[in-house]
Amino acid sequence: MSSTAVTSQSLDDLTSIPALLARNAKRYGLQTAYREKEFGIWQSWTWAETLAEVRALSLGFLALGMQRGDYVAIIGRNRPALYWSMVAAQSVGAIPVPLYQDAVAEEMAYVLDHCGARFVVCGDQEQVDKVLEVQETVKCIEEILYLDKRGMRKYDHSHMNWLDDVMREGRAAETRLGGELDKRSAALTLDDTCVMLYTSGTTGKPKGVVLSNRNIIVTSKNSSEFDKLRPGDEILAYLPMAWVGDFIFAIGQAYWTGFCVNCPESAQTMLTDLREIGPTYYFAPPRIFETMLTTVMIRMEDASPLKRRLFHHFMEHARKIGPRLLDGKPVGAGDKLKYALGNLLVYGPLKDTLGLRRIRVAYTAGEAIGPEIFDFYRALGINLKQLYGQTEASVFITQQPDGEVRSDTVGVPSPGVEVRIAENGEVFYRSPGTFESYYKNAESTASTKDAEGWVATGDAGFFEEATGHLRIIDRAKDVGKMADGGMFAPKYVENKLKFYPNILEAVVFGNNRDRCVAFINIDLGAVGSWAERNNIAYSSYQELASLKPVLDTIQEHVETVNESVAQDDMLSGCQIHRFLVLHKELDADDGEMTRTRKVRRRIVEEKFNDLIDALYGGKDSIYTETEVTYEDGRKGKLKATLEIRDAKVFGQVAAKVAAE
Amino acid sequence: MKGQGDAMRDTAPEEGYVTADGRKIGGVAMEMRNITLRFGGVVAIKDISFDIRWGEIRAIIGPNGAGKSSMLNVISGFYHPQEGDVIFKGYKRPKMRPYQVARMGIARTFQNIALFEGMSVLDNIMTGRLHHMKANLFQQALWWGRAQREEDENREQVEKIIDFLEIQHIRKTPVARLPYGLKKRVELARALAAEPSILLLDEPMAGMNVEEKEDMSRFILDVNDEFGTTTVLIEHDMGVVMDLSDRVVVMDYGKKIGDGTPDEVRTNEEVIKAYLGVAHE
């Protein structure tokens, strides 16, 4: 492909992440590369210091006998030293494999065994314990390294090292191993593997996606230029390191552009740290934007009447004017003035509180975002956009350019990416970021990527003719047919349901059936706060979910959604006839969701088979028992009697069309 | 401090022992010798003797009113027994005020939380560092020299404890806004801030739910493991006591009725009768 050829020429010697690091240390030596809050203070490292740390770590890895082509697993929360471990592994010619830190031991065992990891770098004792447990069955692991020393004193250290010790040994070995390290780093080419990431996999075992230096570097270059990222930008690295997005944002783009990566103190302090850092470039899944908005709304309910009225008055104005201002459309002087006043009184302080004041570019992806949520942030003047991507594409397939942002599309093809829609509606792409292969899985590689490099996304979608923007309907394999031949797109309906703050999760069934039914998960935060304000007592999620007023509210939501689904003549068959509110939250620990919190439809369908039968069977209530796994791995049983509700459906659309 | 110089060195520290999980327990840190404590006509503690070894987790258990808290108050120097001696680090401890005892490296938490409710978590823990601050009023007022330097050093120590007890997210939160379980953890943090060699915990798990108890147990074990802090705790929850402690003293009506490892205590008939109830077949 010509575009790839051009870009790879202009990359000169920048053929690997370690090469980019060396360039940054020269060019941006004294600018901050990493920041981490520890002991209540932001500690920082410049690019030059980062280079020194990574070099020490690489030499230490060499001293421990790390070979070219070794796989190095990295498990832990986002911390500079763990990012450095990845780059250090690359420097010695090894391949980093970041894992999800909240994975349980057996999930971890599969991945460690599959990639044959010789080295495992752990964040803390918790991860070390899991790896030790795994080691009983997975024999390839030779050395365990850890970052946080706490609680580690009593362990057998014959094949275990503290990262600080590794670095100390590395520094001491500079004269002996420095030459070898330089030789290995210099040998890295654009075609060498940069990183291997395991996809969470909504079905079956995780697959190891092999991404080359070319994939990562060219994609990072293109996407950085697309959004005009620059040195001096700040991001907060808080999403799982095993996720491709984190690798692209916190390593790919950060090293290409030379901006600063900030690591929060702990998962609980994320929002405080966000406020302190005030990032200029930000990514969050819709869920986080949703939670933020819900918190704001709950707190506004408790505010004094004056503040509440101010807030609502100016927010209404912002909803009208804010997005137009962002898109650079003409706005009257009076409206502009009022917006400025609102900015002074409401929007500015609110953005400050959320830590979003300095944002130039923010993205959301992974799931559909509710139009109201999306518009709320746009109204505040935050440049929130959507992108569509996947691990196999090194993230970017399509994204929204500034000024062409809407909540229901995912944008135009990213620079260098070609997209086409197959006959059955499935989206295909081809790009410089397209993955090399699935590790040790030629069969899956061949079925996903054809000889010409086109990759099937597994999503069904179409291009809007007027704007050229892509719209995604659903997973291609989830799109089915109703018994009467109509189209069944569960995600479409579920998303509409999930846009209500009271509904956390919804699963719609109806493939090959005559009508649709649904499971609902309520949002404990939103519904709980409502219950508190109305003096309704509840002791658990289960009890709250079975209260009559809660069910009434959910029923209203379902019926409103039915009404709006009925407007779409292609999908009007997807209206929900009956529903129930589940007695437990769907949870990754029980296998009902992926670690990235996507519902595993098949597993839910199997597990709650009795409930589906009841929904179709016409009963009013159903008694059920469900096995649950607690966070410490113990199992227990939940028992409940669930009420099943009928929802009103709307069928007039077809008749109306006929009448016209 | 009159007694300390002339008191003869009372006990030679004996050899320690090694626990089942491989922790090394040292010699005797503190010995209670024939302690009797009376409030007017009421005898709260009757002729009790036992020892506490360096590095161990020592529990005192017993039914309500058995005299456990009184015992802890004797150790912390708040009560002065009418009879008997407290031997600390091999020397007989003279009558002292609680703050003097604190300076000797004994810190405690309270059964009913005794934190400054209006102050932030950070400030509360900083108060635990009080006796590590030597700057005078003048220096403090002018925020100059030693005062400034000390604040930095102490803050660093406090931050390490905040990190250790995983309470970073509530660092700046006023204590009054915290749930009960977290308040207890803040109290533990304040006690640890004093860098004690002996830590006294008065019912650290009282009123906690299962999850909070698990967390607290883990922190008590971690503190003991990481800093080697000798810990004396009073606790009602038998499950917790038996899992946590190396040795247990059992009290009933001011008397000691049992002393030994959790297993020994569990099978001690007098203990079963007085405290655990009659064993059912």
Token pair, residue A371, equals 């139009």
Express each pLDDT in B256-266 by its tens digit.
988 989 888 88
Q: Contact, A415 vs A372, CB < 8 A?
A: no
Query: How many helices (DSSP H) and strands (DSSP E) are in chain A?
Result: 24, 29
For B156, name the nearest residue in chain A, comparing CA atoms only. A39
Tell me the CA distances in angstroms from A557 to A99, A297, A496, one per residue in order.
38, 19, 9
Asked if the model's pLDDT at residue B73 lies above 80, the reply is yes
Q: Where are the domains of chain B?
A: 2-105+196-276, 116-193
A residues 40..99 contacting B (CB < 8 A): 40-41
For B163, name the nearest residue in chain A, comparing CA atoms only. A39
For B159, name the nearest residue in chain A, comparing CA atoms only. A39
Asked if the model's pLDDT at residue B1 lies above 50, the reply is no
Find the distance separating the first CA and the last CA of chain B, reported in whole Å. Answer: 56
- Provide the residue type at B6 as one letter: D
Residue of B155, B160, B165, B169 to mutate, testing the A interface (most A Cβ within 10 Å of its Cβ): B169
CB within 8 A of A235, min separation 6: which ones? Answer: A249, A250, A254, A259, A260, A261, A262, A279, A280, A281, A282, A283
CA gap B168, B7 in Å, rounded: 46
Which chain B residues have a beta carbon less than 8 Å from that of A265? Answer: 168
CA distance B159 to chain A (A): 5
Mean pLDDT, chain A cut into blocks of 10 residues (660 residues total): 40 89 95 93 96 97 96 96 97 96 88 96 94 94 94 89 97 96 95 92 80 96 94 95 95 96 92 93 91 87 92 93 89 93 94 94 87 90 94 94 88 94 88 94 90 91 87 82 82 86 90 91 89 88 90 93 81 88 88 83 90 89 84 79 89 44
Query: What pLDDT is attached to residue A251?
Result: 97
CA gap B185, B183 in Å, rounded: 5
Find the distance separating the first CA and the last CA of chain A, reported in whole Å. Answer: 50
A residues 554..593 contacting B (CB < 8 A): none
CA gap B98, B94 in Å, rounded: 12
DSSP A194-247: EEEEE---SSSS--EEEEEHHHHHHHHHHHHHHTT--TT-EEE--S-TTSHHHH
CB within 8 A of A645, min separation 6: which ones? Answer: A551, A554, A555, A578, A579, A580
Express each pLDDT in B134-171 by its tens digit.
777 877 787 777 888 888 889 999 999 999 999 999 99
For B158, name the nearest residue in chain A, comparing CA atoms only. A39
Q: Which of A620, A615, A619, A618 is nearest to A605 (CA)?
A: A615
Burial of A538 (C-beta count, 10 Å sphere; 0-12/13-18/19+)? middle
Which chain A residues have a beta carbon less than 8 Å from that of B168? Answer: 40, 265-266, 268-269
Torsion region of A355: left, alpha or beta (phi above 0 gives left; psi -120 to 50 gives alpha): left
Asked if B159's CB is within 8 angstroms of A39's CB, the reply is yes
Q: Contact, B232 vs B244, CB < 8 A?
A: no
Tell me the CA distances in angstroms from A526 to A171, A287, A523, A641, one per residue in order.
53, 13, 6, 23
What pLDDT band is residue B278 in, cutting at 50, 70 and 90? low
CA gap B184, B192 in Å, rounded: 12
Query: What pLDDT is attached to residue B276?
Result: 58
CA gap A25, A14 in Å, rounded: 13
SS3 A77: coil
What pLDDT band is residue B11 in, cutting at 50, 70 and 90? very low
Burial of A250 (C-beta count, 10 Å sphere; 0-12/13-18/19+)? buried
CA gap B63, A363 in Å, rounded: 60
Proportion of chain B above pLDDT 70, given as a percent: 92
Residue of A36, A37, A39, A540 to mutate, testing the B interface (most B Cβ within 10 Å of its Cβ): A39
Asked if the model's pLDDT at residue B6 lies above 70, the reply is no
* Per-residue 3-state assignment (H helix, E strand, C coil) for A94-160: CEEEEECCCCCHHHHHHHHHHHCCCEEEECCHHHHHHHHHHHCCCCCCCEEEECCCCCCCCCCCCCE
Token pair, residue A31, equals 């600018």
The predicted model scores a pTM of 0.81
For B155, name the nearest residue in chain A, comparing CA atoms only. A39
CA gap A583, A640 in Å, rounded: 7
A residues 255..294 contacting B (CB < 8 A): 265-266, 268-269, 272
For A41, name the nearest residue in chain B, comparing CA atoms only. B159
For B122, name the nearest residue in chain A, comparing CA atoms only. A40
Asked if A41's CB is within 8 angstroms of B171's CB, the reply is no
Express each pLDDT in B184-227 by its tens digit.
999 999 999 999 999 999 999 888 888 888 889 989 998 998 88
CA distance B215 to chain A (A): 12
The DSSP element (H or E) to which A443 belongs, if any, is helix A442-448
- Provide the residue type at A432 as one letter: P
Torsion region of A245: left, alpha or beta (phi above 0 gives left; psi -120 to 50 gives alpha): alpha
Q: Contact, B162 vs B146, CB < 8 A?
A: no
Query: What pLDDT is attached to residue A328?
Result: 86
A41-46 and A32-38 strand pairing: antiparallel
Which chain B residues have a beta carbon less than 8 Å from that of A269? Answer: 168-169
- Which domains does chain A possess? 2-283 (3.40.50.12780), 288-382 (no CATH), 480-659 (3.30.300.30)
The reply to whether A634 touches chain B by the CB within 8 Å rule is: no
Chain A / chain B CB contacts < 8 angstroms: 32
Q: In b/e form, how buried is each residue of A454-486, taking b as 16+ CB within 10 angstroms?
A: bbbbbbbbebeeeeebbebbbbbebbeebeeeb
CB within 8 A of A552, min separation 6: which ones? Answer: none
Residue with tokens 């690798």: A247
Query: What pLDDT is attached to residue A10?
Result: 57
Q: Which of B241, B268, B266, B244 is nearest to B257 (CA)?
A: B268
CA gap A499, A286 in Å, rounded: 10
Higher per-residue confidence, B178 vs B96: B178
CA distance B162 to chain A (A): 8
Give the helix ranges, DSSP H, for A480-619.
490-498, 524-533, 541-545, 548-566, 601-607, 609-617
The DSSP element (H or E) to which A659 belongs, if any, is helix A652-659
CA gap A185, A53 in Å, rounded: 15
What pLDDT band is residue B275 in, cutting at 50, 70 and 90? low
Asked if A269's CB is within 8 angstroms of B159's CB, the reply is no
CA gap A123, A133 in Å, rounded: 16
| Domain B2-105+196-276, CATH homologous superfamily name and number | P-loop containing nucleotide triphosphate hydrolases (3.40.50.300)
CA distance B163 to chain A (A): 7
